[in-house]
């Protein structure tokens, strides 16, 4: 009987832990800039390329939604296959912020004239700099032309700033 009571208590604790984790909210970052580029011959994309996350806690989770538009006069559709975290900055005293990046909504196909979106989320830890606590996450969305199979990369930056951080 004692073991059953302990087992029930353990299950209740685990359920409580997973429930509180499930209710923890991500820091949703807002787009502040777009880029437009001919990524392969005849294909021009415009995408949300820079995000700002103000008043970010020292560590936590972030989330962005990246909109990508394929110009109406592009000669082919494109497919975005994956997103990679290239690196993080700044690196005070040689140590950069830690972060992860996981994409959802991929692979994503975008025909000429269409705008589609995917999301990226992950964990981060800010570093202390002379300007305050911050982390810059440098991401790359990797894709290819649907007909030509020519590869391309889209640069995406996420700027997490702690309360009071300066540029």
**Can you tell me the distance from the alpha carbon of 134 to that of 148, in angstroms, rounded to the nearest whole number?**
40
The residue ranges of every structural domain in the chain are: 26-161
Reading the block at residue 140, the tokens are 């790359």
Per the confidence metrics, is the pTM higher than 0.85?
no
Locus of tokens 């995000």: 51
State pLDDT tens for residues 112-158: 999 999 999 999 999 999 999 999 999 999 999 999 999 999 999 99
Q: Which fold has domain 26-161?
A: Immunoglobulin-like (2.60.40)
Cis, bond preceding 107 (omega within 30 deg of 0): yes
State pLDDT tens for residues 10-24: 434 343 433 333 334
């Amino acid at each position: 009987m004692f073991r059953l009571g302990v087992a029930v208590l353990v299950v209740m604790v685990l359920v409580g832990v997973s429930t509180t984790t499930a209710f923890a909210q991500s820091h949703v970052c807002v787009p502040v800039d777009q880029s437009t580029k001919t990524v392969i011959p005849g294909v021009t994309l415009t995408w949300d390329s820079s995000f700002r996350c103000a008043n970010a806690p020292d560590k936590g989770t972030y989330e962005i939604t990246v909109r990508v538009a394929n110009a109406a006069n592009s000669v082919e559709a494109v497919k975005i296959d994956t997103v990679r975290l290239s690196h993080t900055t700044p690196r005070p005293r040689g140590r950069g912020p830690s972060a992860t990046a996981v994409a959802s909504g991929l692979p994503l196909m975008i025909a000429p004239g269409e705008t589609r979106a995917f999301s990226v989320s992950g964990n981060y830890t800010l570093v202390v700099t002379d300007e305050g606590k911050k982390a810059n996450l440098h991401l790359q969305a990797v894709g290819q032309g649907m007909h030509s199979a020519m590869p391309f990369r889209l640069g995406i930056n996420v700027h997490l700033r702690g309360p009071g951080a300066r540029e």
